[in-house]
Structure 1
Amino acid sequence: MSDIDKRNRLSEEPFSYQITKKGTVLIQYEGKQIKIVKEKEAERLIARIQEVERNTPEVQLLLAKITGNFKRGNERLGKNKK
């Protein structure tokens, strides 16, 4: 995994998830919801998370991969932030 996470960003555990009663998975990045995974994709994700549940870096990697490349550095900052 060292080749994938060269800057050790996933060791900070930026991703978290919540599984709802309906079986959807809500994925958060630093406390902000960024993706909702539903239906078959959610079932597969839940199964994969349960396989590696004890290995936190692997769970972080799964969540990072499922969210895709959502952060490219071109996000605008708020009006008061510089």
Structure 2
Amino acid sequence: MPADGFSWDTRSNGEVVIRHHGRLATILRGVRAQRFLHEVDRVDAQLLMARLTGNYRRGNERQGKNARNR
């Protein structure tokens, strides 16, 4: 995964804005935002943001051993 592709900011209303290379990727609200803020210091922040936005599988889909991946 590229280093520091994701960044995040919190808004005054509690929302978390996640950006990927400067572009808006997603906005977390409510419980998801609280959970993100709780977990971001405990795990790899880049991997967590990639999982939340769905950008964590780019490029590795065809590495599986299953026949459908060939």
Instruction: State the TM-score, normalized to the length of structure 1.
Output: 0.62
Q: 1:34 aligns with which of 25, 29, 32?
A: 25
Name the Cα RMSD after superposition: 2.2
Paired residue secondary structure (2:14) = coil
Structure 1: which amino acid aligns with 2:39? R
Which amino acid in 1 is paired with 2:54?
G
TM superposition shift of 1:50: 3.0
Mapped partners of 1:68, 1:42: distance in 2? 16
Cα distance 1:71–1:61, how it changes in 2: closer, same or farther (>3 A)? Answer: closer
Aligned-partner residue type, residue 68 of structure 1: G
Gaps of 5+ in 2: 60-70
In 1, the alpha carbon distance for the partners of 2:49 and 2:31 equals 16
User: Aligned to 1:50, what secondary structure does the other structure show?
Assistant: coil
Aligned length: 59
Is residue 51 of structure 1 aligned with residue 42 of structure 2?
Answer: yes
2:54 to 61, 68, 75: 68
Question: Which runs of 5 or more residues in structure 1 are unaligned?
Answer: 1-8, 53-57, 74-82
